Amino acid sequence: MKTIPVKFEAEGKWISAKIGVDETTINLPEPINTTILIKSIDDVQQKKNIITISVEENIYRIATVPKALVILKRVILMGCSGYRLRAYFMSPAIRGGVMVNDAEWEKGAITVLKTGIWFVSQNHQICIPVADVAAIEQTQREVQGTEKEVVKIDHVETGDVSTSFVLCPPTTLKVLYNYLTDATKGISLEGELDPLSSQVAMLVYSGMDTHSIEGMLEKSPRDIEAIYDRMLGLGLVEVVQTRREVKLTTKGVRFVTEAVKPPTL
C-alpha cells in the first residue's frame, strides 16, 4: 500500500494527513476514518489540484501535489465502477478547426463516468466533461496509412470546439459508440429553433459579435436579444458580456457642443 500526503475536507475544514492507497482501497484517517472501495467510486472530478470522489451519496474531496495526484487518479480511474476499455486515443486532435501540432495516438484506456470521459495513458490523464460534449460520431480516419473506424468526440474546450478520437477493435468500437451516445444523451436539444435563430447560432459559432450579426441580418438589437433569450432558455448559449446602450444627458450634450466649436481667435 502506498502512502500519499494530502489534505482532505472534513467537518468544514481541510485536514493534513497521509492516506493509504492500493489497487482496491483508499484509507482516510480521522475524523472521517473510512475505507473507500475503489470499485464503488462512480464519479471523479478535478479542479486544479483537488479531486472530488463520489461514492453513491457520499462525496470526498482530496487535495495533493501534482505528482501524487497523478498516482491517485490513475489508481481510481483504472479500478472504479465506470465503463472502461483499453484503447488508443488522440485528445485533442483538432482545436478550433486546426490540427494540433503534437497530437499523436496514445495507448491507454478510456473510462466513462457520470460527469466525465477520461483518457488515461502512461503520460496523460485527460478529462472531457460530459457537459462539454457537442457530438459523438462513428467515422473513419487514416491511421498509419490505413482507413480505420474510430469514434469522434467533438467538445468545447476553453471556448473553442475541439475534436478527440478513440481507436479500438471493431468488436468493441460499436459498443463504445453506443455507450458514449447514451452517456451524453442529456446534451441533446430539447425544443426547436426557427430558421432565423439557427442562422444566429451559426454566426455566433463562427465568432461573429452581436453588432456584426445585427448588421448582417439587418435586425434590430431588440430582435437579436429576443433570439438570444430563446437560445438561453434552450441552454444553447451563455452570457459572457452585457452590452450597454447609453444616451447623452444634458451635461453630455453641452460637453459635445463645446468640444466641436471652432477655436476662437
Which tens digit of pLDDT belongs to each residue from 88-116? Answer: 999 999 998 899 998 999 999 999 999 99
Neighbours of 18 (CB within 10 A): 10
In a shared domain, residues 234 and 148? no
Alpha carbon separation from 145 to 40, 92, 142, 148 (Å, rounded): 42, 20, 6, 9
What is the span of the domain harbouring residue 227?
Answer: 189-257
Structural domain tally of the chain? Answer: 3
Kindly report the average pLDDT of the chain as a whole number: 90
Average of per-residue pLDDT across 42-68: 95
Q: Is there a single domain that holds both residue 178 and residue 219?
A: no
Instruction: Using the predicted structure, report yes or no on whether residue 263 has a pLDDT greater than 80.
Output: no
Q: Are residues 176 and 242 in the same domain?
A: no
pLDDT of residue 191: 66
Domain co-membership, 164 together with 97: yes
* Structure confidence at residue 134 (pLDDT): 87
In a shared domain, residues 87 and 155: yes
- Flag whether pLDDT at 192 surpasses 80: no
pLDDT at 173 over 80: yes
Do 150 and 199 lie in a common domain? no
The verdict on residue 34 lying in a domain is yes
